[in-house]
Amino acid sequence: MAGLHLVTSNRMERLAVALADLLREPGSSPLAAETIVVQSRGMERWLAQQIARRNGVCANLAFPFPNAFLERLAEAAGIRRAGDPSPFDPEALAFRLFALFGELPAEEAFRALGRYLENDPSELRRWELAEQTADLFDQYLVFRPEMIAAWERTPPPRREPHRWQGLLWRRIVAATGGLHRQALHRLVAEAIRTRSLPPGRLPGRVFVFGISYLPFFHLEMLRALSELLDVYFFLLSPCREYWADLLPRRQILNIARKSPRGDAEGFLHLEEGHPLLASLGLPGRQFLEAIAGEAADPLEFFEEPGEETLLHRIQTDLLLLRPPAPLPRAMQDGTVRVHSCHSPMREMEVLRDQLLALWEEDPALGPADVVVMAPDIERYAPYAAAVFGAGDPPIPFHVADRTPLRDSPFLQSVFKLLDLKDSRFTVEELLRILEDPDIAGRFGLAGGELARLSAWLRGAEIRWGLDEDLHPALAYLGEPQNTWKAGIERLLLGYALPAAGGESFLGLRGADLLEGSEAALLGGFLDFLERAAALCRRLRQPRPLSAWGGELLRLLEEFFAAGESRLDERLSLERALAGLPGLEALSGCRVPVPLEVLRRLLERRLESEGAGRGFLREGVTFCSMLPMRSIPFPVVCLLGLDHDAFPRETRRLAFDRMALAPRPGDRSRRSDDRYLFLEAILSARRRLILSYVGQDIQDNRRLPPSVLVSELLDTLAQGYGLELEDPAQPILVHHPLHPFSERYFRGEPALFSYSQEDAAALRALREGPVPEGFAREPLPAEEAKDSPAEGPLALEELVSFFGNPSRYFLRRRLGVALDIPQAQCSDSEPFSIEGLDRYRLGARAFEERLAGRPARELFAVLRAEGKLPPGRAGEIEFRALWRLADRMARVLEEAGLAPPAAAERRILSAAGIELAALLPAKGAAGVVRARFARVRAADRLGLWVEHLAFCRGGTPPAPAGAQSLLLGTDTVVRLRPPSDPAALLDDLVAIFREGRRRPIPFFPECSMEFFRLLEEEGRAPRAALAGARRLWEGDEQRPGESADPWHRRCHGEGDPLGEEFQALSRRVWGPLRECLGEEKLTLP
């Protein structure tokens, strides 16, 4: 007999069993598919598994969503043809509105819209308004059908708020025929009432499973349908008693305050029941009450969870509508626990340890028994991969509900190509696209060749911009010498005609960077660059939707290698593109659409594909917190329950007519999330683990959790009389900032760790810093490199050592290379010459000046190479460089040291070893060095080493009274001959030998400052050491020597400026200062 039937239970698996048993009973036709209406793909997958487990097979079942089910009824009634898309689909409606917003009539009702849409060259504002209005109209059809019907009958009155909506709706209905969802509802209801449905077209029966809320729009249709066939509602109900009139405590108190009688609560028979049920259960209460009054002979399958654990006691109290009562302390058993952490990463690390402990306690549980939900799964997905995927041991897991765009490198590469429309075409942007192996393979480029390609492009001084046609802003530069066009011409010219001397060709100087077969690599890149430029030009042209589909398919063919890799991702995108022509015809939007709008459309389509994707696979399930996904798991974990993240707010639009007059039954995201939290409590079978960011990562101050977590904690504390932070078995656990905190390893309740890495880190922390850096004991004396038997030691080794002893020890003795990030080249054209570029160009100018070449020749060469700023700025910068180079050259010429003497190889003996040095030839006055930069302490030490070697003599001996000179941009350093250069050189070699066995605390800048304050200014040792320490530590404007990664690696974070540092400073700088003379270099 037809009718509406209600089946309720507090266990979702019990409802699944009841449904499976009903499916065993034959329907109206053995070949007809059974219809089970669900609200999520996750529920569909779980329910199919449960039916198969109960009946041995699950087949010939259809799982439509509520809206899709209504469309099937319309098709069964012959109102619409099967498979026909609706012009009132929100996507089609949005494009129809997009077209209408482009031709708004000159009426008063549309004047505000017209002002809003002014000055919108990208048309994104127009699209966003269309998209929001379409979603709003779709909600009106469900929640305000009478308003839609009134608009269709007569135009909206002039004083109606946001009158433009009614006028636009009438235009839409006139253009489409008005067969929208509300019209389908009306026609299907009429066909049911008049019994005019074709026989055999309806399903034999309908099951609605696991849906905790339906709008009255859908509920009325199901009620009407129950007059013809059996409609079964399988609802999860937390309580078996009548609980529809429960009120939260705060609402009862508000009513009591307004009542004239003091005992209003008893007088009005107001009940709270269980506070969690009253506070969180409003949507379920309203929906259950709406159905219960219509159902005949409701079936109940309630099961008491028991009272052995705290979790089960809460669930049992909810079931029996029993107010909380004080519990013994033994009930704080860890089955309900809330964790407060400092960050999402720490939440994930804490969860991993909690699960490992649980699996150790109960080996019958496994990863597949755990579900982890978060309000925003995209925020937590990377941390899940870092903690669960890379842990020791790794824990199997999968992340559901991720959008393909976030999870697919292929789709990300496609959208990077779409970004070329507004790209500046920087080197980094294009190389980042080529990091995709399919794109690189399409153009014959391997991933390992990108570094070489990057060096070529940087060497050709390419910064941004293809040409003036594609980037009109380049025209304002006057000389676009740092564009792709100029840079590629330099590379090709350098390959065909290698540069020689100062020669240039047609104003360009070739970049001599590649040769031979390397041209094939450049050729592949040029093919990519030409296609990227052509794509950019095409993407800038708006076109109809139907044309965009072909354009993006062309993009796939041109930029991606053919093959079966990433086939699923490619098909996903092709499906999104295949419907564009049909969408154009359905929406009637034949106006050109800009790329920005198409991009939003693709993003939305791809996001819709991600909903429910990957749910219930092997391992721990990570997924979004979605309404009506109350699937039972032994262990339920909720992450990200922060005060501003959950429950999620529903932001109403300013022109939302429903917000002006809310009604019971209107959808509220906040109410849905409250009921979702209640369902999560009901779905946990063994453990409920909650976590939130409850401590500030900067200052450790406490942050409040979600209001729902607070309500749960208040119920446990006030209702059940439990101590939340009980020392022995806490319910609320505040975790330390670091996973290697000592608290995790000293046996505190609820604080433990399974991480061996964190345990090792704590042990290292307990042992404290190594006094002598990482080298506890000196390395054994070596024979290599400082023994005559192995050949002479190059003098450059000594110079390098005293420039940075820590770097020398790590590199030369231990073979350690630190990964020091290099400064990235700018993606903007140079407007000044700074840093390393200034040093290189200045050194080049100095050499050209000493060689006697005129400035204009070097200027022309540098301009042709693209190394100067464009236009007048380049002339000014070059003139300043040349002026300084000329002043430095004049210093050498006035001293009779220009050009510098030729060098020859000399063999010296020092401290029992031989030194091989390239020193000035016989007859030279001394060593001459020039550096186009400020003179540093390391430069002075390098000259000192060479000066001692020169004065030491050898074969041939040095002249008496030899003087050496170091020339910088700020200082001229002169060294007089010492009284005993051999002894001083022997002493430096002795320090060098000791520095090869262990890191010595000698730091050039700090040691020079210490000795200067001590000897030249006469300060006390303590004051001089304080000055050196300030230089060691640095400040905000200038980092100190302690920031040097080589020093930091060797000497740790301690203070190495001790007695040995002072002794070495005196030992090295004392003799040097006796021979030193300095003067400032001034420009005329």
CB 740 within 8 A of CB 698: no
Q: Are residues 1081 and 891 in contact, defined by beta-carbon separation less than 8 angstroms? A: yes
Domain range list for the chain: 3-81+203-239+274-303, 90-178, 329-373+620-756, 406-610, 788-818+898-1080
H/E element, 207: strand 205-209
Q: In CATH, what number does 329-373+620-756 get?
A: 3.40.50.300
Tell me the pLDDT band of 743, cut-offs 50, 70 and 90.
very high
| Integer CA distances (angstroms), 572 to 246, 407, 568, 602, in order | 48, 12, 6, 11
How much is the average pLDDT of 580-596?
Answer: 92
Residues 259-287: b if buried by 16+ CB within 10 A, e if exposed: eeeeebbeeeebebbbbbbbbbbbbbbeb
Statement: residue 133 has pLDDT above 90: yes
Give the percent of the chain with pLDDT over 90: 42
β-pairing verdict for 3-9 and 230-236: parallel
Q: How confident is the model at residue 396 (pLDDT cuts 50, 70, 90)?
A: very high
- CA dist 136 and 299 (Å) reads 38
pLDDT for position 487: 84
Q: Are strands 928-930 and 971-975 parallel, antiparallel or unpaired?
A: unpaired
Rounded to the nearest 10°, the torsion over CA 405, 408, 414, 415 is: 30
User: In this predicted structure, which of 29-33, 88-92, 796-800 has the lowest mean pLDDT?
Assistant: 29-33
Contact 1031, 1041 (CB under 8 A): yes
Cα–Cα distance, 290 to 378 (Å, whole number)? 36
Task: Give the model's pLDDT for residue 486.
Answer: 81
* Chain segment 942-984, per-residue pLDDT in tens: 999 999 988 886 545 556 667 889 999 999 999 999 989 999 9
Which alpha helices (H) appear in 56-143, and where do they start and end?
66-76, 90-101, 111-116, 124-143
Which of helix, strand or coil describes residue 169?
helix
Q: By the 8 A CB rule, do 340 and 694 touch?
A: yes
Long-range contact pairs involving 947-950 (C-beta distance under 8 Å, separation at least 24)? 947/975, 947/981, 947/1075, 948/978, 948/981, 948/984, 948/985, 948/988, 949/795, 949/906, 949/908, 949/915, 949/917, 949/919, 949/985, 950/919, 950/920, 950/926
Q: Which DSSP letter does residue 934 get? A: P
The answer to whether the CB of 892 falls within 8 A of the CB of 1081 is no
pLDDT tens, residue by residue, 880-914: 999 999 999 888 888 777 767 778 888 888 888 88
- pLDDT value, residue 788: 40
**Partners of 206 in beta bridges:** 35, 231
- Token couple for 601: 């459309």
Which residue, 951, 950, 967, is CA-closest to 905? 950
- Which CATH code fits 406-610? 1.10.486.10
Q: Please confirm whether the linkage preceding 647 is cis (ω < 30° from 0).
A: yes
Q: What is the 3-state secondary structure (H, E, C) of 620-659?
A: EEEEECCCCCCCCEEEEEECCCECCCCCCCCCCCCCCHHH
> What does pLDDT average to over the chain?
86
Lowest-confidence range among 500-504, 723-727, 889-893?
500-504
Task: Tell me the average pLDDT across 114-132.
Answer: 90
When pLDDT is averaged across residues 419-444 and rounded to a whole number, the result is 90
The pair of structure tokens assigned to 27 is 């329907």
Q: Does domain 90-178 have CATH number 3.10.50.30?
A: no
Which pLDDT score is estimated for 291? 85
The mean per-residue pLDDT over the stretch 687-700 comes to 95
Say yes or no to pLDDT of 808 above 90: yes
Q: How many CB atoms lie within 10 A of CB 1035?
A: 9
Lowest average pLDDT, out of 94-103, 349-358, 1033-1042, goes to: 1033-1042
CA neighbours within 13 Å on the CB side: how many for 767?
A: 10
Q: Say if domain 3-81+203-239+274-303 classifies as CATH 3.40.640.10.
A: no
SS3 content of the chain, % helix, strand, coil (to 5): 50, 10, 40
User: DSSP for 742-784?
Assistant: GGGGTT-TT-----HHHHHHHHHHHH---TTTT-SSPPPP--S
Instruction: State the pLDDT confidence band at 21, using cuts at 50, 70 and 90.
Output: very high
Q: How would you class 345 by CB atoms within 10 Å of its CB: exposed for 0-12, middle for 13-18, buried for 19 or more? A: middle
The mean pLDDT value for 89-118 works out to 90
* Crossing angle for the helix pair 595-610 and 409-418, to the nearest 10 degrees: 170
Neighbours of 200 (CB within 10 A): 10
Tens of pLDDT, residues 174-222:
999 878 888 888 888 888 888 887 777 888 899 999 988 888 888 888 9
Angle at 830 between CA 826 and CA 833, to 5 degrees: 105
CA-CA distance, 206 to 212, in Å (whole number)?
16
Strand ranges inside 532-632, DSSP E: 620-624
* Cα–Cα distance for residue pair 1042/1054, rounded to 1 Å: 10
Place 691 in a pLDDT band, splitting at 50, 70 and 90: very high
- Side-chain-facing half-sphere of 409: CA atoms under 13 Å: 11
Q: Kindly indicate the confidence band of residue 784, based on its pLDDT and cuts at 50, 70 and 90.
A: very low
**Strand-strand pairing, 903-910 and 913-920:** antiparallel
pLDDT band at 798 (very low <50, low <70, confident <90, very high): very high
The pLDDT-based confidence of 786 (bands split at 50, 70, 90) is very low
Same fold, 90-178 and 406-610: no
Integer angstrom CA distances of residue 275 from 309, 327, 368: 19, 16, 32
pLDDT at 267: 44
What DSSP designation does 63 have?
A: -
- More reliable by pLDDT, 512 or 149: 149
Q: What is the pLDDT of residue 620?
A: 93
DSSP symbols for 1044-1067: -HHHHHHHTTS---SHHHHHHHHH
Flag whether pLDDT at 631 surpasses 50.
yes
Q: Is the pLDDT of residue 368 over 60?
A: yes
Residue type, 369: D
Q: Quick one: residue 273, left, alpha or beta (phi over 0 = left, psi -120 to 50 = alpha)?
A: left
User: What pLDDT shows up at residue 274?
Assistant: 85
CB atoms within 10 A of CB 779: 12
The per-residue pLDDT for 261 is 54
Give the number of other Cβ atoms within 10 Å of residue 38's Cβ: 22
* pLDDT at residue 363 in the model: 92
Longest dimension (CA), the chain: 125
Report the C-alpha gap between 571 and 550 in whole angstroms: 15
771, pLDDT greater than 60:
no
CA separation (Å) from 424 to 143, 420, 457, 828? 47, 8, 15, 10
Q: Report the range of poorest mean pLDDT among 318-332, 509-523, 592-606, 842-856.
A: 509-523
The CA distance from 790 to 914, in Å, is 10
Higher pLDDT, 776 or 741: 741
